[in-house]
Structure 1
Amino acid sequence: MILRYTFFRLLMLIPVSFSISVVIFMIVYLLPGDPIDNLLRVGSSAEDRAELVARYGLDRNLVVQYFVWIGNMFQGEFGQAIVLRRPVADLVAQNLPYSLTLGGLAFLFSSVVGMTLGTLSAIVRNPVLDRFMRGFILLGSTVPGFWLALLLILFFSVNLGWFPVSGAGGWDALVLPVLTIGFGGVALVARVTRVALLDAQREDFVTLLHAKGLSSGTILFRHLMPHALLPVVTILALRIGWILGGAVTVEFVFGRPGLGSLLIRALGQRDYPVVQACLLMLALAVMLGTLIGDVAQAAMDPRIREKKS
């Protein structure tokens, strides 16, 4: 049954992927500027410009350019960077591991710390802890990532000198970016975990379990946590795409290599193939996270797959 549900969810991604590819392709051409401007030398003639436009296929109709681009995508070919003059696939392969490392550590940090804080807030009846958690959740949900990054750099790098300001030299260069991306995730995961556990504690079966004499720890880990994990797993799966998307500004602020830095540099140069490839990778991350969340929900709750399949 779960395989059938997964198959139908994969089929649903086909029209979604097509729509996203159209949007990504067209939105680049709506940006002001032209990548050819970055290639022309001072005093170049109109003939030189026309030659470069024809060389990179920019003189074709947009519909033709789209189908050429999407056809190359199916063959694993991202094209040639116009300004950097390198295969886009090589640029993506060079920068993707940095983004995956940063995103993976931030995801692990936000998941473990968020679920721990949310669980403590739900089971510990302490007004001080409850107020602290509410304030932390509110702060983490509202603080912009780039502003938090600048504060962390100012305090831990400039004033204390504990961590490097920028770069990707060693593990210490990952601490501040991971904290920056993971901070908002910790607040979100903690809030969802707290609400899910509080709702689960109000169920009738919990009273029955206490009446049977089960310990609080057994009730929490064996009965409450599986019952409350459904919304938590969903939000964690969605965080996969959100983390890679949030890494765009964080990588730029910390001067780290990655898809985010590559995307911002390509946007400044109007390098269409690079921008399209980076946006496509970020969109695929969001779709993958959504798919993982839906499949995980269906595996945990048979009612979901029976309803949607």
Structure 2
Amino acid sequence: MIWYLIRRILMLVPVFLAVSVVIFSILHFIPGDPIDNLLKVGSSPQARVAMEARYGLDKPLPVQYGIWLSKVLQGDLGTAIVARRPVAELIAQALPHSLRLGGLALLFSTVVGVGLGVIAALSRDRWPDRAIMGGVLIGSTMPSFWLGLIFMLIFSVSLGWFPVSGARGWSSLVLPVLTIGLGGTALVARITRVSMIEASGRDFVTLLHAKGLSPLRIQLRHVLRHALIPVVTILALRIGWVLGGAVTVEVVFARPGLGTLLIKSLSQHDYPVVQACLLMLAMAVMLGTLLGDILQAVMDPRVRAALA
């Protein structure tokens, strides 16, 4: 198990390097640069050259990438060109908002998704099963930004139950959490249902029935435990995607967070901030994948036997 963990961590190194190259390259191929937001109208070409030299933008791209990567590996995310503040400070202010939103959305999708999946599996091919699967299918096809606007129109504008935007108090989290969490709920519910139905056909379930255990106890205590293995793996993989989904939802609800910081920095072509935000999101996906593999190995004896 220890060697498996070390091997999985080492596998993330080339992935991290490849992602860093992609992030750095794409930003510099986009037309425009942060100097456009710093220079005054009518500034001379000499002023632009001096400004580019000041921020190291006059060097070749491979050299700029090497300098940036070396600083990142040392824990230095650089200084925002437009905001003129340390990037780490900007992210430290924005990240807690995104983590709170993403964490609550993941918790919501886990609890509600597993609950709906269990109900659907226990009532297989009956009307509760069809209703739940139809509902989660509709929920999974709705874009998060559109769903957020609908929620805002109904529950904020029409009913006045929740704030339209901002981050004042827990009530302002309800609609964003629902917006992000519903897509995950659909996925978790489908996987839970399929896993429980598959686990119900295994030999150990027949043995439990032969011992005289009640069907409900067998389903909730034994079948569900086996069915949660793929669910936990999927939830770990969704950690990074939940943070990524928070980017769009934060903009829709005008919430402070990593998404708002990323969009604002993109409009200003503030390279250090955008690179750091994208790198944080990519690392969240990679760490979520690693966590999913580890949890699967811990929970599934077959995986542990294969690693032994």
The reply to whether TM is greater than 0.5 is yes
TM normalised by structure 1 equals 0.97
Correspondence list, 1:6-25, <5 A: 6-25=5-24
1:93-141 residue CA offsets vs partner (Å, 9 max, x unmatched): 0000000000000000000000000001101246221121121121122
Correspondence list, 1:181-196, <5 A: 181-196=180-195
1:147-202 residue CA offsets vs partner (Å, 9 max, x unmatched): 00000000000000111110001100000000000000000000000000011111
- Whether contact under 8 Å (2:120, 2:193) holds in the other structure is yes
Alpha-carbon distance in 1 for matches of 2:307, 2:66: 33
1:218-242 residue CA offsets vs partner (Å, 9 max, x unmatched): 3123321221112111111111011
- Counterpart residue number, 1:123: 122
- Whether contact under 8 Å (2:155, 2:161) holds in the other structure is yes
1:286-309 residue CA offsets vs partner (Å, 9 max, x unmatched): 011100100001111243245468
Correspondence list, 1:261-300, <5 A: 261-300=260-299
1:21-76 residue CA offsets vs partner (Å, 9 max, x unmatched): 11111111111111100111011000111111000000001111111101111121
Correspondence list, 1:159-238, <5 A: 159-238=158-237
Alpha-carbon distance in 1 for matches of 2:304, 2:47: 59
Letter in 2 for 1:67: G
- Deviation of the 1:3 alpha carbon: 2.1
TM normalised by structure 2 equals 0.97
Letter in 2 for 1:46: P
Alpha-carbon distance in 2 for matches of 1:236, 1:121: 19
Larger deviation: 218-227 or 172-181?
218-227
Letter in 1 for 2:22: V
Letter in 2 for 1:227: H
- Whether contact under 8 Å (1:5, 1:305) holds in the other structure is no
Alpha-carbon distance in 1 for matches of 2:21, 2:124: 52
Distance 1:127 1:302, change over 3 A: closer
Matching of residue 248 in structure 1 with residue 244 in structure 2: no
Letter in 2 for 1:61: P
Alpha-carbon distance in 2 for matches of 1:305, 1:277: 36
- Whether contact under 8 Å (1:114, 1:188) holds in the other structure is yes
- Counterpart residue number, 1:59: 58
Alpha-carbon distance in 2 for matches of 1:49, 1:100: 38
- Whether contact under 8 Å (1:234, 1:293) holds in the other structure is yes
Correspondence list, 1:64-83, <5 A: 64-83=63-82
- Counterpart residue number, 2:143: 144
Alpha-carbon distance in 2 for matches of 1:193, 1:292: 19
Distance 1:62 1:306, change over 3 A: farther
Query: How many residues are paired up?
Result: 308
- Counterpart residue number, 1:87: 86
Larger deviation: 16-25 or 188-197?
16-25
Gaps of 5+ in 1: none
Alpha-carbon distance in 2 for matches of 1:13, 1:304: 20
**Superposition RMSD in Å:** 1.2
- For the residue of structure 1 that corresponds to 2:65, the secondary structure is helix
- Whether contact under 8 Å (2:120, 2:132) holds in the other structure is yes
Gaps of 5+ in 2: none
Alpha-carbon distance in 1 for matches of 2:301, 2:196: 21
- Whether contact under 8 Å (2:119, 2:129) holds in the other structure is no
Correspondence list, 1:40-59, <5 A: 40-59=39-58
- Whether contact under 8 Å (2:120, 2:133) holds in the other structure is no
Alpha-carbon distance in 2 for matches of 1:13, 1:305: 21
Alpha-carbon distance in 2 for matches of 1:212, 1:247: 48
